[in-house]
Amino acid sequence: ARGAILVTGGAGYIGSHTCKQLAMAGYLPVAFDNLARGHRSAVRWGPLVEGDIRDVAALEGAIRRYRPDAICHIAALAYVGESVADPAAYYSNNVLGTLSVLDAARRTGIDRLVFSSSCATYGEPDVLPVPEGAEQRPISPYGRSKLMGEQIIRDYAHAYDSRYVILRYFNACGCDPAGEIGEWHSHETHLVPRVLMAAHGILASIEIYGDDHATPDGTCVRDYIHVTDLARAHGLALEHLARGGENLALNLGTGQGLSVQQILDAAARQTGNPVPSTIQPRRQGDPPILYADPSLARRTLGFTTQHSDIDTILGTALAELASRQPKSIVQAT
């Protein structure tokens, strides 16, 4: 067996899927989570340490107890719109929280970090598909908080000889294909689950945030990547660091952009139901087009996506939704 890995945010959507993939690769994932947005029942592949990442002593306690080889720092607040309304919460959780994780790591001699960053750090890029070298000009407090996290990590690595892989996630979606965990957000704002809820009458309709963007069909284009693929990349990043690999910042995406309308069409095909929709004004902080150049992650980590075709994304998300809301969903066969 491999060693322990401390996974901050291990009870959350991406964190719990990462814990599962790490366990499948032979690690012991130790989830560290304050359960503000995560779920105790999503921690199934190792211990849960309940604590806040801004509490350095609590982090140090968890590290001294479980002696992890490395940290996956995933815990964060991650809603663009909420960050515009409440930047204080975002800078506190995401910037102070990252500083605290780095300080706990330094004090305990942990020198390997995998950090969850975001394509939101690019803002509205000039180049598409966006490469890692594109200028990072975030347009929301959320994106800025993640960029600050990246900058602090680089400065620490330079000064204190620690090493990192920064992972810039594009749009995480889908659920564990085995259905053991899912996307359990209390107020769901993400497109994929909302579209499926609208297809099954759990929502009356899906709001499309703008059909007058400068895109082929007027709706926003994103790069949707299955959460199990994202999760697997963390294992590859840890192996890279364990081999003594260089510090990296990597996009995690498919390289393919899909519009909001294309997601609705795919969901209608998949469920056999129409997806009622209404056109709404554009949402603040939404870039019109964002999709990745994923080639650096392939070259450095050998990372390719395996579950990220839209039918697999929708199918796994729908199966998981059906397991929680069986009365609402009669699955097409």
The secondary structure element, H or E, covering residue 207 is strand 206-209
Q: Rounded to the nearest whole angstrom, what is the least distance from the CB of residue 212 to ligand UFG in the complex?
A: 12
Distances from the Cα of 100 to the Cαs of 53, 55, 168, 200, in angstroms?
A: 7, 7, 20, 43
90 is catalytic: no
Catalytic residue among 91, 122, 142, 291: 142
171 is a site residue for ligand UFG (CB under 6 A) = yes
Residue ranges in 253-272 that form contacts with ligand UFG under rule CB under 6 A: 260
Sole window of 44-52, 67-75, 115-123, 147-155 interacting with ligand UFG (rule: CB under 6 A):
115-123
**Token reading at 49:** 């340490």
The secondary structure of 114-128 as a DSSP string is EEEEEGGGSBS-SSS
**Nearest approach, Cβ of 84 to ligand UFG (angstroms)?**
11
* Options 34, 108, 118, 308; binder of ligand UFG; rule CB under 6 A: 118
| Run of H or E residues at 160 | helix 141-160
Residue 191 binds ligand UFG (CB under 6 A): yes
Give 42 or 290: the residue with its C-beta nearer to ligand UFG: 290
Q: How far is CA 117 from CA 21, 97, 142, 222, in A?
A: 19, 13, 10, 16
**Smallest distance, ligand UFG to C-beta of residue 272, A:** 21
Contact 22, 158 (CB under 8 A): no
One-character DSSP codes across 32-89: EE--SSS-GGG--SS-EEE--TT-HHHHHHHHHHH--SEEEE------HHHHHH-HHH
Given candidates 7, 206, 266, 289, which one binds ligand UFG under the rule CB under 6 A? 206
Six-digit token string for 86? 């409440």
By CB under 6 A, which span of 95-103, 129-137, 203-211, 249-257 interacts with ligand UFG? 203-211
Enumerate the H helices of 161-190 as residue ranges.
Answer: none
- 122 is a contact residue toward ligand UFG (CB under 6 A): no
In the chain, what are the helix, strand and coil shares in percent, each to the nearest 5? 40, 20, 40
Binding-site residue total for ligand UFG (CB under 6 A)? 21
Q: What is the rounded CA–CA span in Å between residue 179 and residue 153?
A: 34
Give the list of residues 6+ apart from residue 299 with CB closer than 8 angstroms, or none: none
Of residues 14, 63, 208, 317, which one binds ligand UFG by CB under 6 A? 208
Using CB positions, name the residue nearest to ligand UFG.
220
Name the minimum Å distance from CB 146 to ligand UFG. Answer: 7
189 binds ligand UFG (CB under 6 A): yes
Smallest gap, in angstroms, from Cβ of residue 185 to ligand UFG? 10
Q: How many angstroms separate the CA atoms of 264 and 271, rounded?
A: 11
Length of the chain in terms of residues written: 333
Judge contact between 290 and 119, C-beta under 8 A: yes
Residue 198 lies near ligand UFG (rule: CB under 6 A): no
Q: Does residue 286 bind ligand UFG (CB under 6 A)?
A: yes
The verdict on 313 binding ligand UFG (CB under 6 A) reads: no
Q: Which residue in 69, 190, 242, 273 binds ligand UFG (CB under 6 A)?
A: 190
Rounded-to-integer distance, Cα 113 and Cα 70, Å: 6
Q: Which of 13, 156, 209, 291 binds ligand UFG (CB under 6 A)?
A: 209
User: Cβ closer to ligand UFG: 259 or 270?
Assistant: 259
Q: Is 102 one of the binding residues for ligand UFG (CB under 6 A)?
A: no
Q: How far is the CB of 205 from ligand UFG (least distance, A)?
A: 10
Q: What is the enclosing helix (H) or strand (E) of 270? A: helix 260-271
Residues that are catalytic:
142
Give contact residues for ligand UFG (rule: CB under 6 A): 78-80, 118-120, 171, 189-191, 194, 206-209, 220, 222, 260, 283, 286, 290
